[in-house]
Structure 1
Amino acid sequence: MSENLKEDLPTVIKELEKKCKEHPKSVMAFHHLGLVYMKAGRIDEAIQMLDRAIEIDDQSIESMINLGAIYFGQGNLDKAQEMNEKALGVNNESAQAYANLGLIWQQRNDLEKAIASYEKAIQNDPKLASAWMNLTSVLTMKGYDDRAVAAATKGLELEPDSPLGHNNLAVALYFSERFSEAKVHADKAQELGYSVDPNFVSRLQEKLAQ
């Protein structure tokens, strides 16, 4: 697709709609049209196209995962979970599906299941930085401080310029009482444009002043 997709959106949509009409059994045509509808904010149509892709090919994992992402964004956790579990039914090693389930369990406040899902994602794809970063936040919430620091460190190894990664590591280090190191990463997160919680910054400054 065009690098200037945002500017070309109407053209791309028109071309893909034509392709879907000409090739009504093309999974990729419906899948891509669904993704472009997502970018255009045409969510109901995106759902219809991704549903159609899955009807054509009930092994279309990418369509299932993207459809799950739409439902998650709408706050429909049941449907989001259903789609990601369906993807795992096709391929039980899908790291992205496990990572998405981690987010769903986290939203449901079932943190142990969230941890298990993120760890399964990492087991299947150790380079999935987002899974490491999300795992960090849940480990911190559970008070697993050393594990949180290790997970955050790994996430930053994979994405050294991630604002979220630096923020997560700062928080994990804070709870591990490594306050000087925490400040380094909090400052870096702010430098990279992350809105670090002012209350966290204040608490960190108090600890450094003691």
Structure 2
Amino acid sequence: MPRPGIDKYRNIYQPEDIPSSKPPPEPRRNKILRAGAIVMLAVLLIGIPIYYYASQRGIGVFQGGDEPIHVEKGKELVAVQQLMKEGKRVRALDVIRTLYKLYPRNVEYVSTGAWVHFKMEQYRRALELAEQAVQLDPGRARDHAVMGACRLFFKQYPGALENSLKALELDLEQPLAYLTLGEVYLKQGDTERALPALKQAGRLDPDNPRVWTRLSSAFIRLEQWHRAELTAQRALELKPDAAGGHFNLAMIYYKAEQKYKAVAHMQRAEDLYQQAEQHEWAGKARQNKELIIRKFKLRPEDIIH
């Protein structure tokens, strides 16, 4: 919506003809209200990223975190990608959030914003921005893939499938779309269809621990235990605190009757799920751990956390 012009504000205040040149004293109530408004504005500005150009040098300054971020004009998206690569996701978000708010019709800014929010597991905002990007340009495969992955998180499985298939229709090299398809098929109990999709996701995005965790889950269902172990271990190599990797390894070691390893990994999975506030999965891990302890008649002193 276009910004309102200032014309409509011009005649709001017309000074009266006052005999004395000295203005009348301002009421105390007005002073208090004005001071309160200034304080509120300052509080709001602290939490809002600010962006401006030092025009004489063509440098953009983003203020959203502890320190300002200086970016050469025209290279803002490169800076966001570099910050993400360095693991500085909050600072990357400060930059891209400012840009997509300032330029809501710029599809590159909106699309990159969707991707950054998705990588930060802020799925609701990521979905909103991905939908906005697709409205601006329906042919953007990655945005369809992000929509599908977000809808998977919200358990909107038909929508997740539709968006992911659309992404692959536009670009067969979209790993996120294959991953989402594989996860949906796993949830539907269709492991035979899930496995090829997950394998393709692994080929296209071999450094994604989520892909390897889901592959491990598929191999467990097919009772291909050696492959399940290798893929779960790969997930933990990439991300040592991947709760799903520990959960799957615990199940694999339980099947192999390696009781101490099984309990240790299930305990680790429970702790990680609790930290992530995934209480349902934390409960499943706790139940499985107790089952393992009872089955192998382990004593508390036998268990090393």
User: TM-score range, shorter-chain basis?
Assistant: 0.7 to 0.9
Partner of 1:202: 290
Conserved? CA contact 2:127–2:146, under 8 Å:
no
Alignment partners' CA distance in 1, 2:97 and 2:237 = 38
Q: Deviations over 1:44-91 (max 9, x none)?
A: 854641322433xx1x23211111123323433233222222222333
Conserved? CA contact 1:72–1:80, under 8 Å:
yes
| Structure 2: tracts of 5 or more residues without a match | 1-61, 67-88, 275-281, 299-305
The letter of the residue matching 1:170 is A
Partner of 1:54: 137
Alignment partners' CA distance in 2, 1:34 and 1:161 = 25
Write 1 or 2 for the structure with the bigger share of helix: 1
Partner of 1:86: 166
Conserved? CA contact 2:249–2:262, under 8 Å:
yes
Normalised by the length of structure 2, the TM-score is 0.55
Cα gap change, 1:110 to 1:14, in 2 (>3 Å): same
Normalised by the length of structure 1, the TM-score is 0.76
Q: Secondary structure at the match of 2:266?
A: helix
Conserved? CA contact 2:263–2:292, under 8 Å:
yes
Partner of 1:140: 220
Match of 2:265 among 175, 185, 188: 185
The letter of the residue matching 2:107 is V
The letter of the residue matching 1:101 is L
Deviation at 1:43, TM superposition (A): 8.2
The letter of the residue matching 1:120 is Q
Alignment partners' CA distance in 2, 1:156 and 1:44 = 28
The letter of the residue matching 2:285 is D
Conserved? CA contact 1:136–1:168, under 8 Å:
yes
Match of 1:165 among 227, 233, 245: 245
Partner of 2:48: none
Alignment partners' CA distance in 2, 1:3 and 1:162 = 28
Alignment partners' CA distance in 2, 1:121 and 1:53 = 27
Q: Secondary structure at the match of 1:177?
A: coil
Which protein is bigger by CA-based radius of gyration? 2
Deviation at 1:142, TM superposition (A): 3.0
Conserved? CA contact 2:267–2:289, under 8 Å:
no
Deviation at 1:199, TM superposition (A): 2.6
Q: Deviations over 1:103-145 (max 9, x none)?
A: 1111222111112211111122222210111122232233222
| Structure 1: tracts of 5 or more residues without a match | none
Deviation at 1:183, TM superposition (A): 1.8
Conserved? CA contact 2:270–2:285, under 8 Å:
no
Partner of 1:16: 100
Instruction: Find out whether 1:150 has 2:230 as its counterpart.
Output: yes
Alignment partners' CA distance in 2, 1:43 and 1:97 = 15
Alignment partners' CA distance in 2, 1:43 and 1:153 = 30
Alignment partners' CA distance in 2, 1:158 and 1:190 = 19
- How many residue pairs get aligned? The number is 201
The letter of the residue matching 2:134 is D
Structure 1 range deviating more: 72-81 or 132-141 = 72-81
Match of 2:200 among 120, 125, 140: 120
Q: Secondary structure at the match of 2:240?
A: coil
Conserved? CA contact 1:135–1:151, under 8 Å:
yes
Instruction: Find out whether 1:27 has 2:111 as its counterpart.
Output: no
The letter of the residue matching 1:66 is V
Alignment partners' CA distance in 2, 1:48 and 1:125 = 24
Partner of 2:143: 63
Q: Secondary structure at the match of 2:296?
A: helix
Alignment partners' CA distance in 2, 1:143 and 1:72 = 25
Task: Report percent identity of matched pairs.
Answer: 23
Partner of 1:101: 181
Alignment partners' CA distance in 2, 1:126 and 1:104 = 20
Match of 2:255 among 153, 175, 181: 175
